[in-house]
Amino acid sequence: AQSVSQHNHHVILSEAASLELGCNYSYGGTVNLFWYVQYPGQHLQLLLKYFSGDPLVKGIKGFEAEFIKSKFSFNLRKPSVQWSDTAEYFCAVNRGWAAGNKLTFGGGTRVLVKP
Amino acid sequence: DVKVTQSSRYLVKRTGEKVFLECVQDMDHENMFWYRQDPGLGLRLIYFSYDVKMKEKGDIPEGYSVSREKKERFSLILESASTNQTSMYLCASGRQGGSYEQYFGPGTRLTVT
């Protein structure tokens, strides 16, 4: 069965610090990769996605993610966080039509940015 | 903008009650999904649907059923609510193929006492 692992459940850091959240998946075929974010009290929204092409993907709010196929990883990064980046972040994997357009989510990482 | 709405933000029900959670999307998406979100477990897929009157089991369908009588509406049913179904329930919709992106509703926090 396909699984998605997020290594850190909780991350606490100060404003202006750099952020990197790890995500690994277990499926070896073609995948589509996503990072979603859930700000406190808000619904889940898409941060960025990777389908093909350049493995370095840029998303909203200064976030980027790098797909490393050999490591089955899709890590999320932001060079300098702000207090408003406090949220829960979810990595998700989709195998396209073969898997019925389903998304498999990681367990999530709660990020707290201290002002 | 895509809009996915859910009938309630908070719901409190008693053990054994039948519970209906409603979800409506306004973007004519073919696919609709129901997830539950629990701390440390992320989102887990309960059921999904590709089309009207069509449903497929997700990873954790036990204790749940669904109904899709109209394209824009997807209902989750707890036939006999139990305390272990206390959770946040998220509905999502998405287009068939294409970007595979899913759009989420605000969630319903269900408490079963």
Using one digit for the tens of pLDDT, what is the confidence trace for B52-64? Answer: 999 999 999 999 9
DSSP run (H or E) holding B96: none
Answer whether residue A79 shows pLDDT above 80: yes
Q: pLDDT tens across A24-72, in order? A: 999 878 889 999 999 998 999 999 999 889 999 999 999 999 999 999 9
Which one-letter amino acid corresponds to residue B74?
A: F
**Which one is predicted more confidently, B86 or B51?**
B86
Contact partners, residue B82, CB within 8 Å, separation at least 6: B15, B63, B112
Please name the residue ranges forming H helices in A2-58: none
Q: Comparing C-alpha atoms, which of B87, B91, B81 is closest to residue B109?
A: B87
User: pLDDT-based confidence at A15, cuts 50/70/90?
Assistant: very high
In Å, how far is B95's CA from the nearest CA of chain A?
9
DSSP A81: -
Mind spelling out the 3-state secondary structure of A54-70?
Answer: CCEEECHHHCEEEEEHH
Mutate to test the interface with B, among A34, A35, A44, A105 (most CBs of B within 10 A): A44
Answer whether residue B36 shows pLDDT above 60: yes
Answer whether residue A2 shows pLDDT above 60: no
What is the average pLDDT across B30-52? 93
Considering only CB atoms, which chain A residues are within 8 Å of B58? 102
Considering only CB atoms, which chain B residues are within 8 Å of A9? 40
Lowest-confidence range among A69-83, A85-99, B49-63?
Answer: A85-99
Q: Is B34 on the interface with A (CB under 8 A)?
A: no
Q: Is A7 on the interface with B (CB under 8 A)?
A: no
In whole angstroms, what is the distance from residue B58 CA to residue B48 CA? 7
**Which one is predicted more confidently, A77 or B40?**
A77
